[in-house]
Every structure is written in C-alpha cells, then in structure tokens.
Amino acid sequence: MNTQKPRALVVTGDGINCEAETAQGFRLSGFEPEIRHLNDLVVEQLTVDQLSSRYAVVALPGGFSYGDDLSSGKVLALKIQHQLGWEFSDYVSRGGLVIGICNGFQALVRLGIFGKDVSITNNAQGKFVNSWIRVTPWGDHCVWLKGVGTLELPIRHGEGRIVLAPERRAEVLGKMQRNGITCLRYEGNPNGSEERLAGLCDASGRIFGLMPHPEAFLRWTSHPEWTLQPGRASAPGQGLVIFENAYRECMNAR
C-alpha cells in the first residue's frame, strides 16, 4: 500500500499570489503541497505522464497573473498552452485532479476547458469587489464538490462574470447543464454572472474552477462574523471541504 501523502502541485510566479494559502489548504487536508514556479516547470518540460505520476493534483491559485493585462488569466493560459504544453484533459484522464481558483479559474476558462463558447469578463458593476457571498453546488457531477452544502466564502475579483456566446446561449447553456458543467451557483448575483454561476467543472468533473476563494476560509477566524461565536475560533473553515474532497478522491483511487 502506498503510505506516502499524495502530492499537490501549486503553481506560482508571474503575479500569482494565493499560492501559500492554497498550499495550506492542501496541507491541512492531508496532501503534501509543492509550490513551484512556472518558469521552473517550463524548464523542466514535464510531460503529462510525468506530471500525473508525480502529482495527484494541479492547482492554479488566485492572483493577478500578468497584471490581468489583455484580460484576466489570458497570458497565463497562453503560457500553460504554449510553454508548458499541458493538456489538462489528458492529465485528469490519467487520474489527476485540477483546480483553478479566481485567477486560476479565469485561466482555465481562457484555455477552453469549459467549452469554447464560455468566457469570463468584467463584473457587471465594473468594479473590483471583496465581499463574502454564499455558493451552493448545483448537481453532483463535480468531484471537488461531493457532498458539499452551501458555503460562505469571499470573492475578490474584478472579472468574475461568466458569460456565454450570445447567439448560442440557450443551446450552450443546455449542453453545459446536461454535462454537469454548471456546478456552483451564487445565492444572489454579486457580479452579473450567467445563471448566477460561481464555478464550473469539465465534463469529467475533475477539473474545477471557481471565483470564490475556498483557501481563504480554512479556519473559522477568517469568517467576517466569527466574533459572534468566539467559541468556534479554532474550528475549521468551510473552504476546507473542497480540499478534503480532493484528498478523499485521491485516496479512493489508490
């Protein structure tokens, strides 16, 4: 039996800035996280096979890769596509899991992981917003959201509004729903997203991206209202369940 902890690759560099807390989320849920610089990975030129034998999870954390210039996540996506050459669909078909949080999610959208008729753009109100919201899983297709109920998490973004190609909207949305891609919804709509969408997964349910930050709620004291219940100060935060789901999935697969 494999007694080693599963490894999680947490990518950093070029303006990514949530790598430490993302790694902490993986650590707390049983993984051994490795924070690696994009440029080192480019030099290494890991094939998808090598990637999947070394890492159980690849995480693209939040941040401002390339300053959000040319649109959020865009140049990071180009770098993954052209310099790393990773096909995430191949990686997950070999048993891997992928998560993109906030800027990482935006990069996954630009990579076309959730379909070529899906995009993400400026919040409807045209402003960056840091605020706590509620999200609820929709359907049970996404591995990362198995058994997860409603979560309270912070959003911190200026470009979180998920949009669909206008001329094919109904068709695209129907297909996404049928395939379980529309996996996470806001209560209310903090950014004008289509169908209140807060997160998406790919058809396999193993690549998951979301705008809210689960890694920012690993412990109860991060919640804006925690002082109402000081007794819970040491309790785990609701964001942790997402990382724990990945761990359970990895352990089950062994």
Partner 1 sequence: MFARIEVAMRPQFTDPAAQGFLRKVELAHPSLRQKVRWARSLDVYWLDLPAPREELIQAITSVFWDHVLQWLFTGNLIPSAAGKHGGMQDLFEAAPIRPGVFWALERRYRPGVTDNVGKTALEAFEIVLKRKLPEGRASSGSLLLLEGPELNEDLLAALARDVYCNELIETWTIVPCEELRKSDRFHQERIKRDLPKILVRGSGIVQEMDLEALDDAGLELLSRKRLLALSLVEMRAIRDYFRRPEVARKRKESGLGAPTDVELEIFAQTWSEHCKHKIFGAKVEYTESAESAGSFSIPSEINGLFKSTIVATTAELKKPWLLSVFDDNAGIVAFDDENAICIKVETHNSPSALDPYGGALTGIVGVNRDILGCGLGAKPIFNTDVFCVAPLDYSESLPERLFHPRRILDGVRRGVEHGGNKSGIPTVNGALVFDQRYLGKPLVYCGTGGIMPRVIAGRRCETKEIRPGDRVCMVGGRVGKDGIHGATFSSLALDDASPSSAVQLGDPITQKRMADFLLEARDLGLYRAITDNGAGGLSSSVGELARLSGEQGGARIDVSRAKTKYPGLKPYELVVSESQERMTLAVPKDNLKAFVELAERRSVEVSDLGEFTDTGRFEVLTGEKLVASLDLDFLHAGVPKLELQAEWKGRPSESLPSGPPPAPGGASKKFAETGASCLLELLGRPNISSKEWLIRQYDHEVQGTSVIKPLHTVLAGLAGASSGPNDAAVVKPRPDSEAGVAVGCGINPKLSDIDAYLMAQSAVDESIRNVLAVGAEYGRPESMLALVDNFCWPDPVGDPQKTAALVRACYGLRDAALSLSVPLISGKDSMKNDYRGSRQGNPVTISVPPTLLMTAIGKVPDIRHARTADFKTAGDVLYLVGGTQLGLVGSEFHSCYVVLPGKQRLAEPNWQEAVRIYSWLGGASGKEHNRLRSVHDISEGGLLVAVAESLIARGLGAFISVPADSDPWEFCFGEGYHSFVVSVPESDVSALETEWTVSDVPFRKIGAVITQERLDVSFEGGQKTWSIPTRQLRTVWEKGGYWE
CA distance 252 to 243: 14
Catalytic residue, candidates 142, 213, 223, 249: 213
Window 112 to 131, contacts with partner 1 (CB under 8 A) = 116-119, 121-131
Work out the widest C-alpha separation in the chain, in whole angstroms.
53
Q: How far is the CB of 209 from partner 1 (least distance, A)?
A: 16
Catalytic residue, candidates 19, 21, 194, 215: 215
What are the angstrom distances between the C-alpha of 12 and each of 30, 48, 58, 188, 216?
21, 19, 11, 32, 17
Closest CA to 29 of 68, 56, 65, 66: 56
Contact assessment for residue 68 and residue 29, using Cβ atoms and an 8 Å cutoff: no
Give 51 or 80: the residue with its C-beta nearer to partner 1: 80
- Give yes or no for residue 136 binding partner 1 (CB under 8 A): no
CA distance 27 to 151: 20
- Give yes or no for residue 134 binding partner 1 (CB under 8 A): yes
Give 111 or 142: the residue with its C-beta nearer to partner 1: 111
- Give yes or no for residue 12 binding partner 1 (CB under 8 A): yes
- Give yes or no for residue 149 binding partner 1 (CB under 8 A): no
CA distance 235 to 218: 9
Would you state the structure tokens that stand for residue 149, as one six-digit string? 């109920």
The structure tokens 């790393």 sit at 84
Q: How many residues bind partner 1 (CB under 8 A)?
A: 73
CA distance 56 to 252: 12
- Give yes or no for residue 147 binding partner 1 (CB under 8 A): no
Contact assessment for residue 25 and residue 19, using Cβ atoms and an 8 Å cutoff: no
Give 81 or 89: the residue with its C-beta nearer to partner 1: 81
Residues in contact with partner 1, shown as a per-residue x/- string from 44 to 63 under the rule CB under 8 A: ------------------xx
Catalytic residue, candidates 18, 19, 21, 102: 102
Window 195 to 254, contacts with partner 1 (CB under 8 A) = 213, 215-216, 218, 221-225, 227-228, 230-231, 233-234
The answer to whether 213 is a known catalytic residue is yes
Identify residue 114 by its one-letter amino acid code: F
Window 167 to 186, contacts with partner 1 (CB under 8 A) = none
Piece of 91-99, 146-154, 173-181, 242-250 that binds partner 1 (CB under 8 A): 146-154
For the chain, the helix, strand and coil percentages under 3-state DSSP, each to the nearest 5: 40, 25, 35
The answer to whether 82 is a known catalytic residue is no
Give 61 or 180: the residue with its C-beta nearer to partner 1: 61
Give 30 or 132: the residue with its C-beta nearer to partner 1: 132
Closest CA to 60 of 92, 13, 96: 13
The answer to whether 157 is a known catalytic residue is no
Residue numbers annotated as active site: 102, 213, 215
